[in-house]
Amino acid sequence: AHSQEHLVSLLNLQIDPDRLHRRIAALAEVGAIEGGGCARLALTDADRAGRDLVCGWMRELGLAVTVDAIGNVVGVRAGRVDGPPVMTGSHIDTVRTGGRYDGNYGVLAGLEVVAALNDAGVTTEHPLAVAFFTNEEGARFAPDMMGSLVYTGVLALDEALAVQGIDGATVGGELARIGYAGPAPVPGAVPRAFVELHVEQGPVLDREGTEIGVVESVQGISWTEIDIRGTSNHAGTTPMSLRRDAGWAAGSIIAFVRELAQELGGDQVATVGRIEFFPNLVNVVPNRAVLTVDLRNTDEARLRLAEARLAAHLDALRDAEKVDIATRKLARFAPVPFAPEMTARIERHARAQGLSTRRMPSGAGHDAQMLAAVCPTAMIFVPSVDGISHNVREYTRPHHIEAGARVLLAVLGELAGA
């Protein structure tokens, strides 16, 4: 009997690296920004143009393309039998200062797997689907991973459509405006299995010189928006002891979460990524500050501890500065373990191709963590040079881009029955 690795090579299944690199470069031109990166915030005109381009490629490759009510796009390649597809995919929205690989790579490598099957004239036993999910980034509309949350039935469609973005627009309004409020129902059909290929976005693989990350879990994520209200007053005349300074309170939160992460140690991380002052003038004590805190940990108990410590700090600030503080959870996800049989499969195929591997958790959030709730799921990582991401300098070397796509081809080929 032949192993599946042998079957894949007997079938002459091969990715075409140039075709994959060309698609990555072409998608990166949509919403291109200085330095080689992309600004395609979810449901903007740039996102629409990126969606149109990828949907066109899906149709050229012969996929049956459906768009669901939250704008997720699924392209299906028929198998010899009907039934649920083996699915791969990721997202094509970006942060405002995004690189060209985050999300896009996984979607376009999925299309390259389809192209390789087409080239070889292979029909798999089970259907194969390539998906891209709406608003994975969460930079414009929270929560992140919105499309996959709705796809898997964890977030209600109505609730998602009503979400207001940082610019005041709603998800529902913007979906309709860009023409991606589709007819396919949500929650979507449960796949047989889900595999997401992604750049690591961190330094581990690059530093170690390891080619493939076998992702065993995704760390927990806690996003909170903090709205602080104080009193505006004259910067020159108001004695320090009489201030209700929302700006100072915000600054103290920034300092606090850094110290908190250092104190908790391990892999606790903490970030204030967005802040606004009102009225934001040189000689006025701010009467309002709005900021976000992103806390992450692979250990749920430690993440809860970090949240509790932050809440206690806010209480102390209320007392000390007599400010009002309201909080709103923007996103909260517990750590997610992936299916051991899926991680073992990825590892086996990577090694069979002579690639070095390491098992690791994901520091970033991914659509795969939502799919993991409904079907066997795992992720493949490739190295990010210097661990840079959510930055136009995000870069993955071409041979790593190709290696990841080859592993994806082998894993999907086996799962779908090539």
Binding site feature residues for Zn(2+): 91, 102, 137, 198, 390
Q: Which of 37, 71, 85, 103 binds Mn ion (CB under 5 A)?
A: 103
Tokens of 108: 């376009």
Give the range of 109-117, 136-144, 272-280, 341-349 binding ligand GLV by CB under 6 A. 136-144
Q: Give the H or E element holding residue 401.
A: helix 398-416
Shortest Å, Cβ 201 to ligand GLV: 8
Q: Is the dihedral of CA 164, 165, 168, 170 positive or negative?
A: negative
- Residue 144 or 245 having the CB closest to Mn ion: 144
138 interface partner picked from Mn ion, ligand GLV, none, CB below 5 to 8 A per type: ligand GLV
The answer to the question of residue 99 lying near Mn ion (CB under 5 A) is no
Shortest Å, Cβ 280 to ligand GLV: 26
174 interface partner picked from Mn ion, ligand GLV, none, CB below 5 to 8 A per type: none
The answer to the question of residue 364 lying near ligand GLV (CB under 6 A) is yes
Q: Write the binding mask 85 to 124 for ligand GLV: x where contact by CB under 6 A, - elsewhere.
A: ----------------------------------------
- Residue 94 or 252 having the CB closest to ligand GLV: 94
Measured CA to CA, the distance from residue 404 to residue 6 in angstroms comes to 18
The answer to the question of residue 245 lying near ligand GLV (CB under 6 A) is no
The answer to the question of residue 365 lying near Mn ion (CB under 5 A) is yes
Position with the least CB separation from Mn ion = 103
Are 144 and 136 a contacting pair, CB within 8 Å? yes
Q: 192: which residues sit within 8 A by CB, 6+ positions away?
A: 83, 84, 85, 86, 87, 126, 375, 376, 415
Give the range of 114-122, 133-141, 254-262, 332-340 binding ligand GLV by CB under 6 A. 133-141
Give the range of 130-138, 164-172, 276-284, 303-311 binding ligand GLV by CB under 6 A. 130-138
Are 400 and 211 a contacting pair, CB within 8 Å? yes
367 interface partner picked from ligand GLV, Mn ion, none, CB below 5 to 8 A per type: none
How big is the chain, counted in residues?
418
Number of residues that bind ligand GLV (CB under 6 A): 6
103 interface partner picked from ligand GLV, Mn ion, none, CB below 5 to 8 A per type: Mn ion
Q: Write the binding mask 2 to 31 for ligand GLV: x where contact by CB under 6 A, - elsewhere.
A: ------------------------------
Measured CA to CA, the distance from residue 295 to residue 332 in angstroms comes to 10
Amino acid code (one letter) for 308: A
Q: Which of 47, 68, 137, 211 binds ligand GLV (CB under 6 A)?
A: 137
Measured CA to CA, the distance from residue 176 to residue 271 in angstroms comes to 33
Give bridge partners of residue 88 from the DSSP assignment: 130, 195
Measured CA to CA, the distance from residue 37 to residue 316 in angstroms comes to 41
Q: Which of 93, 102, 294, 402 binds Mn ion (CB under 5 A)?
A: 102
Report in angstroms the alpha-carbon separations of 324 from 122, 166, 211: 63, 22, 50
Q: Is 1 exposed, middle or buried (0-12, 13-18, 19+ CB in 10 A)?
A: exposed
The answer to the question of residue 68 lying near ligand GLV (CB under 6 A) is no
Give the range of 60-68, 135-143, 309-317, 409-417 binding ligand GLV by CB under 6 A. 135-143
b/e map 9-35, b = 16+ CB within 10 Å = eeeebebeeeebeebbeebbebbbbee
402 interface partner picked from ligand GLV, Mn ion, none, CB below 5 to 8 A per type: none
- Output phi, psi for 48, to 5 deg: -60, -45
The answer to the question of residue 335 lying near ligand GLV (CB under 6 A) is no
Shortest Å, Cβ 353 to ligand GLV: 28
Task: Find how far residue 132's CA is from the centre of its chain.
Answer: 11
| C-alpha closest to that of 370 among 108, 102, 135, 39 | 135
Q: Give the H or E element holding residue 312.
A: helix 300-321
Q: Applying CB under 5 A, which residues contact Mn ion?
A: 102-103, 364-365
Q: Applying CB under 6 A, which residues contact ligand GLV?
A: 136-138, 144, 364-365
